[in-house]
Amino acid sequence: MPTVPSPVRRRRPKRSRAEKSAGEPQLYLSKAVARALDVLDCFSDRHPTLSLKEIAQLVPMPESSLFRILVTLEARGYLDQNPDGSYQLSGKVLFGRLFECAERLRQVARPYLQKLATRFDETASLAYLFVDKIQVLDTVESLQTIRFTNTPGRVLPPHCSSLGKAITAFQPLEKMERILEVYGLFRRTEKSITDRGALLAEFEEIRRSGYACDREESVPGGVCFGAPVRAGDTPVVASVSLSVPVVRLTPERESEMIEAVRQTGREIALALQAAGA
């Protein structure tokens, strides 16, 4: 007898994330997981610590159900509970969110960084505070033959780079001390400031003037002007700078660069606020 072929089982093609979102978006969602994620989304830079009652005002659910979610999230390491009973995001969550925030900042700041670099044809850079280390987030290099470069990911000294100073100077004293301790006050050039008292006095001047200077303190022959990115009342976690060889710096150009860097920091901050980032 001839063999009758068995029917071919055809597999359903996998759908992309966009297709899944467009069709039947609610069908496969877990309400329990969604509620837990709603709780995590309540925390922000403006509200890093929240009590049970404060979260209940933001997430519409009975406090008894909310309490069970909070206990579960704490047990699994997504929330930390403070001695007063309030909650905050754990390091495990913050580390991932930190890179997400940094990437949003990089995207928002990029056009302003390009504008600053183009205006002076000097290298413009953006830095970000990752927990207790300051790293280069983005850079637009000068087209000049003699120029200073920055590499994204490079860890910056908080005591002898303008980007590092512009962030460190605006931290609470305890965090400022931790940043300095993690990096260390070692001498990069003969002009590096390694005396803690002198450095704290310079930080005070940076807070007053709104900008920081690195005058051959990290690289001989190079000067860098940096300014903080101060978005509303949120902590300062970013800074912007211009790097220029000493041979191309004049008093008139220096004044113009300092004001341009400060203005760029303000413009990026306003753009961040407008973008809700």
pLDDT at 8: 47
Topology classification of domain 25-89: Arc Repressor Mutant, subunit A (1.10.10)
The pLDDT value given to residue 25: 62
Residue 96: its pLDDT value, please?
84
Domain map of the chain by residue range? 25-89, 94-275
pLDDT at 15 over 80: no
pLDDT value at 10 more than 50: no
Alpha carbon distance 1, 200 (integer Å): 95
25-89 and 94-275, same CATH topology: no
pLDDT grade, residue 4 (50/70/90)?
Answer: very low
Q: Which residue has the higher pLDDT, 21 or 185?
A: 185
- pLDDT for the residue numbered 277: 65
pLDDT tens profile 72-82: 999 998 999 99
Residue 123: strand pairing partners: 243
Full-model pTM: 0.73
Contacts of 38 (CB under 8 A, 6+ apart): 59
So what's the architecture of 94-275 in CATH? 2-Layer Sandwich (3.30)
Contacts for 227-231 with beta carbons within 8 Å, 24 or more apart?
227/166, 227/261, 227/262, 227/264, 227/265, 228/166, 228/167, 228/169, 228/170, 228/265, 229/105, 229/109, 229/265, 229/268, 229/269, 229/272, 230/170, 230/265, 230/266, 230/269, 231/269, 231/272, 231/273
